[in-house]
Structure 1
Amino acid sequence: MSQDQSPAADAQEAELRVLRDGIDSVDRQIHQLLNDRARLAQSVAEVKERYRQGDELPVFYRPEREAQVLRAVMARNEGPLADKTVARLFREVMSVCLALEEPLEVVFLGPEGTFTQQAAQKHFGQSAHCRVLSSLEAVFETVQSSEAHYAVVPIEVEDAGLIRHTLDLFRRYDLYICGEVELAPAVSSEATSRCPRFLVVGRDAIGPSGEDKTSLLLECRDEAGALHELLAPFHRRNISLTRLETRSSGEHDWQTLFYIDFEGHVSEPQIGELMGELEQLDVNVKFLGSYPKAVL
């Protein structure tokens, strides 16, 4: 025992030293496992390159697979860390490992520091290359032309509803929704305040994750009973709508545009049947994508 410390202080220091040694040991194990995971990610890339067909580029980022991994992380979490805290840690691990396979190029509407940039970093992690563009149309065009892998675009802003310009661009470009991102709403006295919502947009439709949404744009004549006719196929199959928005199509005053989100993936039999029935109606149907529900 030192002359300057009480027996209690010495006992405390001895216990803390054991705990710190334990933390150092765990840190070394975590470090080793992180490098093991990174090497496995590199091996995945090598296998995909080896089996690529001709000029077809291998797909390194799988949104549905990522959503499944993050859900599994939260399901098996035993604490004391919160489920979403652990999932965010794994989100960054996955981002770093994916960058070893192929760094993702992601574009978003500027300026920097906006909610859209926050949404991009939340969804893809800090290791993705996120690039700001000056217009929403440029964002869509950059993905369409393969100058970027994905885009993050705003679809719903707090207390203001859907962003119509985003819907207009979905009509014009052949891109798919492959993910959604929700940010926590600002503190508000309004009970109906919505979370700012963003969509991840890419060139390819994606497979099911097990907990998915599908989005459609439907354009039809502005006639009595049109909405009832459109919704009847959903009601018959007990398909839950999560969003329904109507507006003028913008091209013809006598036409109405419906934006619909509903639960399920287009690969599911009843969703496939629904799509077939909608296409038999006097309506233009544009499939925007089936994608995992927001995890974080």
Structure 2
Amino acid sequence: MSGNQPPAADAQEAELRVLRDQIDRVDRQVHQLLNDRARLAQQVAEVKERYRAADEIPVFYRPEREAQVLRAVMARNEGPLGDATVARLFREIMSVCLALEEPMDVVFLGPEGTFTQQAAQKHFGQAAQCHAMDSLEQVFRAVEQGRAHYAVVPIETEDAGLIRHTLDLFRRFDLFICGEVELSPEASSDATARSPRFLVVGRDAIGPSGHDKTSLLLVCQDEPGALHDLLAPFHRRRISLTRLETRSSGEHDWKTLFYIDFEGHNTDAGVQELLAELNGLQVEVKHLGSYPKAVL
């Protein structure tokens, strides 16, 4: 017994010392494994650089691969940490490792401190270089011109309304949706409101992750039965719609614009049949992208 300390206190301190030593050992192991993973990420970058063609730009960030990794993390998690908590930790690990391969430049509609910036950092992690821009058009143009790798843009507000200007820009720019981000209700100003939703936009279409969505813009003449004709191909193939929004094209041409989200990837046989049938109708079809469903 040390000094006047009671025996129970000595016993507690002895047990805590053993546990703290174990924590220190685990910390050293975690630290070593983090550096091992970072070195593997560097080797991945070296391999991609070695085998790329002279005119090819190597792709370091693979949204479908990241979604698969995060889903696997959540599936194998045994606690006591929650699935989402562990997935967020792994996202940050992947973020810093990706920064070793290539620093990721992401643009969003400013000012800083908005929900859109929160969405960008949630999706890409704290190691991504996020830059605020003054307008949505500048955001889209920065990605189109290669001045940024990706953009994060708002698509759905807290009151469940779609951002019409975002839809207009998707129609004008030849970019692809590469992912989606949903902020938790407590991140919004009204905890009872629907979670704000954002889209990740890039220059290239991405492969399937296994749990995907596809988004389309359809423009057709404003005629009776037009919506029924557009939805019939989905119904016949039992493809589930997750979002349907209609609006005037805004061009004084008596046309209606339909924004549709549905389950599946454009490489799926059923989705390919669907797109072929839609292209056979008297309708303008723009494939906005197939992308992983939000994991977190």
TM-score w.r.t. structure 1 length?
Answer: 0.98
Letter in 2 for 1:27: D
Alignment partners' CA distance in 1, 2:99 and 2:252: 46
Separation of aligned partners in 2, 1:4 and 1:86: 44
- Whole-Å separation in 2 of the counterparts to 1:4 and 1:175: 73
Please name the residue that 1:123 is paired with. Answer: 123
Deviation, 1:4, is 2.2
| Distance in 2 of aligned mates of 1:147 and 1:56 | 17
1:195 aligns with 2:200: no
What is the CA distance between 1:187 and its match in structure 2? 6.8
Aligned residue number for residue 72 of structure 1: 72
Runs of 4+ in 1 over 3 A off after TM superposition: 186-190
The answer for the alignment partner of 1:154 in structure 2 is 154
Residues 233-283 of structure 1, C-alpha deviations (whole Å, 9 max, x = no match) = 000000000000000001134100000000000000000000000000000
Q: What amino acid is the match of 2:215?
A: S
| Alpha-carbon distance in structure 2 between the residues aligned to 1:188 and 1:150 | 29
Match of 2:273 in 1: 273
Partner of 2:41: 41
Structure 2 distance, partners of 1:187, 1:169, is 27
Gaps of 5+ in 2: none
Tell me what 1:95 maps to: 95
What is the total number of aligned residue pairs between the two structures? 294
Tell me the TM-score normalized by structure 2.
0.98
Tell me what 1:54 maps to: 54
Tell me what 2:229 maps to. 229
Equivalent position amino acid for 2:208 in 1: P
Residue type of the alignment partner of 1:66? E
Q: Map of 1:111-260 to 2, 5 A cutoff? A: 111-185=111-185, 186=188, 188=190, 193-260=193-260
CA RMSD of aligned residues (A): 0.9
- Match in the other structure for 1:30: 30
Q: 1:15 to 1:129 in 2, by over 3 A?
A: same
Deviation per residue, 1:59-109 (Å, 9 max, x gap): 000000000000000000000000000000000000000000001100000
Per-residue deviation, residues 199-256 of structure 1 (Å, max 9, x unmatched): 0000000000000000000000000000000000000000000000000001134100
Cα displacement (A) at 1:188: 4.5
Distance 1:120 1:294 in 2: 13
* Letter aligned with residue 245 of structure 1: E
Post-superposition CA distance 1:161-207 (Å, at most 9, x none): 100000000000000000000001237475xx321000000000000
Report the Cα distance in structure 2 between the residues aligned to 1:182 and 1:77, rounded to whole angstroms: 22
Q: In the aligned structure 2, how far is the partner of 1:238 from the partner of 1:183?
A: 29
Deviation at residue 160 of structure 1 after TM alignment: 4.7
| Aligned amino acid, residue 95 of structure 1 | S
